[in-house]
Amino acid sequence: MQSSNDIAATRDIGIMAHIDAGKTTTTERVLFYTGISHKMGEVHDGNTVMDFMEQEQERGITITSAATTCFWRGHRINLIDTPGHVDFTIEVERSLRVLDGAVAVFDAVAGVQPQTETVWRQAERYRVPRIAFVNKMDRVGATLDRTVEMMKSVLHAHPMVVQIPNGLESAFTGVVDLLMMEEIRWTDDTGTQLTRQPVTEDHEMYTEAVLAREALVESVAEVDDETMTVFLETGAAGVPLDLLKAGLRRATIANKGVAVLCGTALKNKGIQPLLDAVIDYLPSPLDMPPVVARRKADDGEVQRHASLEEPLLALAFKVVHDPHRGPLVFLRVYSGVLKVKDAIQNVTRDRKERVNKLLQVHANKMQEIDEVSAGNIAAAVGLRFTTTGDTVVLATDREQVILPGLEIPEPVIFRAIEVKSTADQAALTEALERMQREDPSFTVRVDPDSGQTLMAGQGELHLEIIVDRIAREARVPTNVGKPQVAYRETVASRLNHPIEYDREIGGKRQYARIVLEVVPRERGAGNSFVNLIPEPVRERGQKLEPPKLLPDMIAAVREGAMDALTRGPLLGYPVVDVEVRLADGGYVEGDSTAVSFRAAATMGLMEAFEKAGPRLLEPVMKVEVEVPEDFTGNVVNDLVGQRRGRVQGMEPLRGLQVIDAEVPLAEMVGYATALRSATQGRASYTMHFSHYAEVPSDRQAEIVTRARGY
């Protein structure tokens, strides 16, 4: 049974980095020194623990990447994977939502690289406390100062340098720990043996270390009042170790400063102090503000603390497919306790489920556990419906609450996919189903007319990555169509349309007469159907008039109308924001059935849409570009001049401009590349669906002509 001591001794963290800065090597070393992995490999040998896992098919490739648990100094560290791609808000959100802190890995030669900036800003947006590990101190050209300076100038961070390197490049032997004023030297190849030696006056680094320690105390004092008070009284030298450490921790957790460490993961130097810093400075779940959830019953808010006494509240943040165990649902528990065999309520989907097993994932093994409690992370086996972003509580809880969901945006782009050989069809279907469960922003449907399988997602790159995963993981060769924008159709004007349907089918007359009215509605209002035919009323002393249409005929008209709305007249996209009114109708006893009314409505409406000025609607994206000042003009001109964008606002943020714009998705094709080359890779952007808007008429004509092929 866990106690709150255990919560205090937990760290839920991510390791984030620019590609190639050494994230994999650092992670692998962390797992080695924490004693989970006893075999050390290097990336270039292709046998790191992570790579090793890849070969171990039975455990599934991606399991380690969701969350891995290791232990250090009596603390549990849950390493949560942070995505390499920052393009999909949902991917980023789901990992940043569940971690409390992060280690940012830098390359000591390259310093702050463009992608580091992007990742850093994401973390900033979610206020994730960070410590920095300046890696690759052994490389030619490595310095600590460059990265520290760039952290200030480019990232506008407040570095608190807690170590300085002893030697650089191939002469790098270790670091001086400025808190302890100790030289740490690694003395064997595996980096398991290290010596600590006090840096006293006779030490060659003494003067440098004293100055660096003073600078450290000042940098902490600048952002921490308690340290400042003592510093002003006693000077830097008088600030005691425990106070300085506490100040560093407070500053980190408050997101006011970033402790900076250095080393070389590849040469096995610097990892143990990094683990110490994770424990010492990054927050435990108890340090985090309570999560705010919404009561389902009345929309009120409740706060849940990282406490075992409070009711269970957990977030499913990733679903990973395990070939033997089925889907593993990774849960972060915010409050309370979840036990094996507990019946849970998936509040998001309103479904009850049972947890068959709980697993703690380590780098190279999975351990069954009996329970998972507040602040911790585990994978649940046996859940059939729960997917990424869902809130889970105990089925026995009276109060159902829901965490602010990962907003699932409307799919705006789609692509056809087909197998090269029909023998692979089942495998493709299965792979697509799995992807949908893992990633709720990805959907698949079969087009009823063409029979094509259509994948829909958030952007070009999103679908590209999925296609790539299908090729790698499902090993199914496929053909994919070009990405297509998901348009909608609507009508521009109001129209009254009488329809008389009179056919002979199988020697029997089918008759229906209706008058439909098509009325455009406000953008985003959706479709509606209204029956305006008045009920017959009985006049005094007269017989009740027969109704103009019988109830089953009216229902059939509604069905037929809904049918017609699924395919617009221009290009067959769904019709939206239209009200269909049934204004009048008539039938002939014996010759009219529901079937004839349904057909009349569908056919009649299709004609009506053609006549009522059909319009194409396109998805418009909310685009947020973060760009250094010098490039702002170019970026805005491009958005407005070239991409039909509308700038909604601009705001300075940490030395950058944040441009808020609305841009039609069709104009965002290839934007990542264009932005990179226009800004030397220094800008970043996120986009998500905002609304549908009318395509300008000249473009509409162009699109329709092109799509119809004439």
Ligand X SMILES: Nc1nc2c(ncn2[C@@H]2O[C@H](COP(=O)(O)OP(=O)(O)OP(=O)(O)O)[C@@H](O)[C@H]2O)c(=O)[nH]1
Binding residues: 17-24, 81-85, 135-138
Complex with ligand X: residue 22 or 311, whichever CB lies closer: 22
- What is the closest distance, in whole angstroms, from the C-beta atom of residue 470 to ligand X in the complex? 21
Count CB-CB contacts under 10 A for residue 490.
Answer: 25
Q: Which residues of 135-153 are buried (b: 16+ CB within 10 A; e: fewer)?
A: bbbbbeebbbebbbebbee
Residues linked to residue 498 through DSSP beta bridges, in sequence order: 515
Q: Min. distance of Cβ 183 from ligand X in angstroms? A: 20
Contacts of 556 (CB under 8 A, 6+ apart): 594, 595, 597, 598, 601
In terms of CB distance, is 114 or 613 closer to ligand X? 114
Nearest to 515 by CA among 491, 533, 490: 533
Specify the residue, 17 or 656, whose C-beta has the smaller distance to ligand X: 17
Beta carbons of 174 and 184 less than 8 angstroms apart? yes
Residue 21 beta carbon to ligand X: minimum distance, rounded to whole angstroms: 5
Q: How many other β-carbons are positioned within 10 Å of the β-carbon of residue 345? A: 20
Q: Report the C-alpha gap between 192 and 198 in whole angstroms.
A: 20
Contact criterion met (CB below 8 Å) for 617 and 693:
yes
Residue 29 CB, shortest distance to ligand X, in Å, is: 9
Instruction: Please choose, from the candidates 147, 125, 127, 145, the residue with its C-alpha nearest in 3D space to the C-alpha of residue 22.
Output: 147
Residue position matching structure tokens 């008539």? 586
In angstroms, what is the minimal distance from the CB of 115 to ligand X? 10
We find the least distance from the C-beta atom of residue 15 to ligand X, in angstroms, to be: 9
Based on CB atoms, which residue is closest to ligand X, 138 or 577? 138
In Å, the largest CA–CA distance within the chain is 120
Which of 613, 615, 604, 607 minimizes the C-alpha distance to 575?
615
Task: Using the minimum distance from each CB to ligand X, give the nearer residue, 91 or 517.
Answer: 91
DSSP E strands: which ranges in 213-271?
258-262
Q: How far is the CB of 9 from ligand X (least distance, A)?
A: 28
Alpha carbon 190 to chain centroid distance? 37
Nearest-angstrom CA–CA distance, 264 and 197: 20
258 vs 248: CA distance, rounded Å: 8
- Identity of the residue, 265 or 582, whose beta carbon is nearer to ligand X in the bound complex: 265
Shortest separation between residue 48's beta carbon and ligand X, angstroms: 8
Write out the binding residues for GTP: 17-24, 81-85, 135-138
Tokens 């290839």 -> residue:
670
**What are the backbone angles phi and psi of residue 153, rounded to the nearest 5°?**
-75, -40
**Nearer CB in complex with ligand X: 20/407:** 20
Residues lying near ligand X in the complex (CB under 6 A): 17, 19-25, 42-44, 84, 135-136, 138-139, 264-267
| Cβ distance to ligand X smaller for residue 175 or 383 | 175
Count the residues in the chain. 710
